[in-house]
Amino acid sequence: MSDDEPNHAGEAHSGGVGQRLNWLRAGVLGANDGIVSVASLVVGVAGATTDTPALLVAGVAGLVGGAISMALGEYVSVSSQRDSERALIEKETRELREMPEEELDELTSLYRARGLTDATARQVAVELTAHDALAAHLEVELHIDQDDLVSPWQAALSSAVAFTLGALLPLLTILLLPANLKTPLTFVAVLVALAITGTVSAQLGGSGKVRATLRLVIGGGLALVVTWAIGTLLGTTGVV
């Protein structure tokens, strides 16, 4: 398998494992957003002025506002997903209570569609229904683990913390380096960080590492160039 081919090793465990990794994926995305958005902001300001207080105010404002926005967005998104999962669980519970025979037939057909013979599919459906009918239907029919639903608070916190950590890299780089090195070394630090987070994100998502990393690095680089150019232009013309 080449480095750019998708990794399908974990697809067989996409249920509970995928749910538990949700917060980690949110964290990686938060870090990427923190790096790119705050880096673009401070580099744009640095294009207009090397005044440290101005860079600090812009960077901190971008960090705080971005972290809150990421947390709220992730919380709303995951809450909606969790509400949908709970509604499906309630619906399946009601159907099992009101029409158990129809649900048994449905479970049998689902296993038959997976390649089992009629007799084997029926036997599996009967035994699983006797053990835990709701869990069997949720797993096979809806791909839900009722004991492993996503947590909106966990996803929101992970996203906010990751955004903050990602944002600190360009902010500290632009503040602590000498004036003549601020912009170029911030570019380098940001692109290296994006390459790392892009690789981690691809690994978690099971996608091609090279392609995913290049997308982040090229996109982040373009954002930095554009904002720096705008800041330089505005600073040169005396607008700021």
pTM exceeding 0.75: no
At 55, which amino acid appears? L
pLDDT value for 18:
54
Give the integer Cα–Cα distance in Å for 26 and 13. 19
In this structure, the chain runs to a length of 240
pLDDT in tens, 144-171: 777 667 778 888 888 899 899 999 999 9
Task: Please give the Cα distance from 198 to 227 (Å, whole number).
Answer: 22
- pLDDT tens column, 182-209: 888 989 999 999 888 888 877 776 767 8
Q: Spell out the domain ranges in the chain.
A: 11-75+163-237
pLDDT at 21 over 70: no
> What is the per-residue pLDDT across 79-126, written as a single tens digit (0 to 9) for each?
888 888 888 889 988 989 999 899 888 889 988 888 889 899 899 889
Q: What is the pLDDT of residue 72?
A: 92
Q: Which residues contact 143 (CB under 8 A, 6 or more apart)?
A: 14, 15
Give φ, ψ of 86 to 5 degrees.
-65, -40
